[in-house]
Amino acid sequence: MDALLARLVAGDATLAGADLAAWWPACEPLRDRCTHTVERAMALALVAPTVGCAFVAGYRAALHALVPSLGPHTRAALCASEAGGAHPRAIHTRATVTADAVTLDGTKRFVTGARDADALLVLAVEGEPVDGRSALTLVCVPATAPGVTFDDMPVMPFVPDVAHATVSLAGVTLAPAARLAGDGWSDYVKPFRTLEDLHVQAAMTAWLVGVVRRAEGPHALTERLVAHALTLRALADATAEAAATHVALAGSVANLEGLFGALDAWMAQAPAAPRDAWERDRRILTVARSAREQRRVRAWERVREAVQVAREG
């Protein structure tokens, strides 16, 4: 924690490259030094040249937290959504598992950073439904595996440097070890949403710290951002699935949004490049807002249920 605090307040905040292609390799030493995924996300975002790079820092760090075997240098991409969304009922990509191999067939949509990825984490149906529910598995697929093809999707109006693609898998055959242990939905995709919110919010906070510091902005603004960053670091050690974690994470989102007034006031006179980038790309923080709100409501329901059980017990 002390190292993170020192980095945010007084560490080197010089930009690492001018774009995503230059920034990621330039940050290799930082990835080696930062073993905690949230701290790594913030360290990379502090020196990120764009909001898109900061998002990538948080997104990839969240995947490293989800699947630690990936390692800090792996450019991973989660392939969950299909034509009908990412809900278990919408998954039709199939994993055929034998003693000797895992074979994947299907199509994934809106995969973040697919073309830049080294590894694709593919959610797929395995076997036949049990009690009306499909068994889901997560398979780690090398992006260069035979049978994997990409189709670029339109560039988004915000964070345009973060590309998305449709990923098609046709008879992609891998060793059995490519299939990750556990349930693909409950052990991976579902908790990833919380991990992604936490890591991306941490990265965006650190990016803003870097912007303010490089422009010699007000200390009061840096203080509030750094305090928020430390809250997120503490939350990273909480259980991702716990209701209390979701309650606290919802509060942290509100706290960051509460800083926007002061940020906007300062940004009005800040250097043009970060000001324009923030104005265009801040919308990334509102993506999946409805899903976060549903998690918040459900978290409070679970809290009330636990309190009631404790009273009755």
- pLDDT attached to residue 120: 98
For residue 308, pLDDT beyond 90: no
Whether 170 and 301 map to the same domain: the answer is no
Whether 111 and 139 map to the same domain: the answer is yes
For residue 216, pLDDT beyond 90: yes
Domain membership of residue 60 (yes or no) is yes
Confidence class of residue 309 from pLDDT cuts 50, 70 and 90?
A: confident
For residue 288, pLDDT beyond 90: no
Q: How far is CA 153 from CA 112, 165, 310, in A?
A: 10, 5, 50
Whether 193 and 308 map to the same domain: the answer is yes
- Long-range own/partner contacts, residues 304-312 (CB < 8 A, 24 or more apart): 306/243
Whether 85 and 218 map to the same domain: the answer is no
Confidence class of residue 30 from pLDDT cuts 50, 70 and 90?
A: very high
For residue 129, pLDDT beyond 70: no
For residue 2, pLDDT beyond 90: no
- pLDDT attached to residue 132: 61
Whether 250 and 170 map to the same domain: the answer is no
**SS3 track for 252-266:** HHHHHHHCHHHHHHH
Domain membership of residue 71 (yes or no) is no
CATH number at residue 162: 2.40.110.10
- pLDDT attached to residue 18: 94
Distance CA 235, CA 123 (A): 27
For residue 270, pLDDT beyond 70: yes
Beta carbons of 209 and 222 less than 8 angstroms apart: yes
Last residue of a domain, one of 157, 179, 201: 179
Beta carbons of 88 and 134 less than 8 angstroms apart: yes
Domain membership of residue 99 (yes or no) is yes
Domain membership of residue 46 (yes or no) is yes
For residue 255, pLDDT beyond 80: yes
* pLDDT, the chain, mean: 94
Q: Which domain holds residue 32?
A: 2-66+188-312
Domain membership of residue 194 (yes or no) is yes
What tokens appear for 65 in the block? 């937290």
Whether 206 and 303 map to the same domain: the answer is yes
Domain membership of residue 223 (yes or no) is yes
pTM for this predicted structure: 0.95
- pLDDT attached to residue 130: 63
Q: How many residues does the chain have?
A: 313
For residue 131, pLDDT beyond 80: no
DSSP 8-35: HHHS------SSHHHHHHHTHHHHHH--
Phi then psi dihedrals of residue 109, to 5 deg: -115, 155
| Helix, strand, coil share (%) of the chain residues, nearest 5 | 55, 20, 30
- pLDDT attached to residue 52: 97
Distance of CA 237 to the CA centre of its chain: 16
Whether 45 and 102 map to the same domain: the answer is no
Domain membership of residue 280 (yes or no) is yes
Distance CA 255, CA 179 (A): 39
Beta carbons of 137 and 104 less than 8 angstroms apart: no
What tokens appear for 132 in the block? 């009306």
Whether 87 and 123 map to the same domain: the answer is yes
Give the pLDDT confidence of 224-233 residue by residue, as tens digits: 999 999 999 9
Whether 83 and 102 map to the same domain: the answer is yes
| Tally of domains in the chain | 2
Distance CA 33, CA 181 (A): 28
Whether 225 and 308 map to the same domain: the answer is yes
Beta carbons of 63 and 76 less than 8 angstroms apart: yes
Whether 31 and 165 map to the same domain: the answer is no
Give the pLDDT confidence of 91-124 residue by residue, as tens digits: 999 999 999 999 999 999 999 999 999 999 999 9
Whether 112 and 12 map to the same domain: the answer is no
Give the pLDDT confidence of 47-92 residue by residue, as tens digits: 999 999 999 999 999 999 999 999 999 999 999 999 999 999 999 9
Residue found by looking up tokens 């809290």 in the block = 303
Last residue of a domain, one of 120, 149, 179: 179
Last residue of a domain, one of 129, 149, 179: 179
Domain membership of residue 127 (yes or no) is yes
Give the pLDDT confidence of 142-155 residue by residue, as tens digits: 999 999 999 999 99
Confidence class of residue 15 from pLDDT cuts 50, 70 and 90?
A: very high
Question: Residue 129, SS3?
Answer: coil
38 burial level (CB within 10 Å; 0-12, 13-18, 19+)? buried
